[in-house]
A = this chain, B = another copy of it.
Amino acid sequence: MGEAGADAILISQPNNRRYLTGFTGHDSPSGSSAGWLFVTPTEALLLVGFLSLEQAQRECPDFGHLDTAGKPAVLVGQLAREHSPQRLLCEGSHLTYAAFNELQAQLPAGCELVAVEGWVERQRASKDEGEVAKIQRAAEVTDAALQHVLGIVRPGLTERQLAWEAEKHMREHGAESLAFDVGVAGGPNSSLPHNPPGERPCQSGEPIWIDMGAQVDGYCADLTRTFCLGEPEARLREVWDLVHRAQQAAIAQCRPGMTGREVDSIARDIIAEAGYGDKFGHSLGHGVGLVVHELPRLAQTSSDVLAEGNIVTFEPGVYLEGWGGVRIEDLGVIRGGKVELLSAAPKRLVVG
């Protein structure tokens, strides 16, 4: 609070709120918040609606709890009159423009509402051992579901069927939910880095990728494998080996102190040297935590500096329009000066 030059802070973003308090309430899809965290130098209060009050009290015994009566901005106005902060920080990349203005209108004269961005998100980038253990568990649930899918996949199963098999396995073996919708793409569909699973049946000899992640105790995993049923054509083996080599190099050479751009370049240079530089149209990776896309970013546009405790994906890909694509993704934690993989699912091109 000192470094931010503020004497009160309002946290509204649900994952930031959970990170700081342990409160697992979900905001409603229609936009109403499960609660706001209001912090002053002497108090930490959860402002929650009637429906979530009991849950907040049970989950966060070290915090105060106030009922918003459906009007959180009005309650913050009352608190601001009691505590008289001069600068109240809020999250400008979460509060909507309308909510910011509604809140500002409730504040007493002399209290400035200051929007900041990324304040808690930057703290979330470094995981403690408890968080690492949860992500490790999410990765294990994800690995097991991949093994299940590789055990049942055969020509004729559709993308949608494979995605559902993966989801069911995760949900029935320890995942409270998914980190994101399972992606599956085969043949020409696989040349799009993201593909909603459809009715196309898998065929022998073509690239098929699956991108999936479980969520356990709020924490996410993220894993991609590309495989082929039966004998791959020569180009598929060539591209798969290239992507695999680029990924392994990035994992082996990644060190704390490097920028996201430097780590991205390790993989990107290898792919570019092989002539596929313009076919790797996304970044190498991203942080993973309570949300599947967090800081730090491993990308050409990223100046984030990697540090101990970061958990990131390594997921280079090569996509050839009309033919297909290959992506291989693992999750690793930066620990003891290097990358320790959290994903343990086997990487092999040929299945069945």
Binding site for B on A (CB under 8 A): 26, 28-31, 50-51, 54, 90, 92-101, 115, 117, 164, 168, 171-172, 177, 180-181, 192-194, 281-282, 291-294
Contacts and interface: CB of A to CB of B under 8 A. Distances in A.
8 contacts: A30-B291, A30-B294, A54-B192, A92-B96, A93-B98, A97-B97, A97-B100, A98-B115
Given A30-B291, A93-B98, A164-B171, 5 more contacts: A28-B293, A92-B97, A95-B96, A96-B97, A98-B115
Contact of A31 (B29, B93, B177): B93
A95 B97 contact: yes
Nearest to A50: B281
A98 B115 CA distance: 8
Contact of A292 (B30, B51, B193): B30
Given A51-B192, A51-B193, A192-B54, A293 B30 contact: yes
Contacts of A29: 180, 291-293
A104 to B, nearest CB: 10
Nearest to A321: B54
A302 B34 CA distance: 21
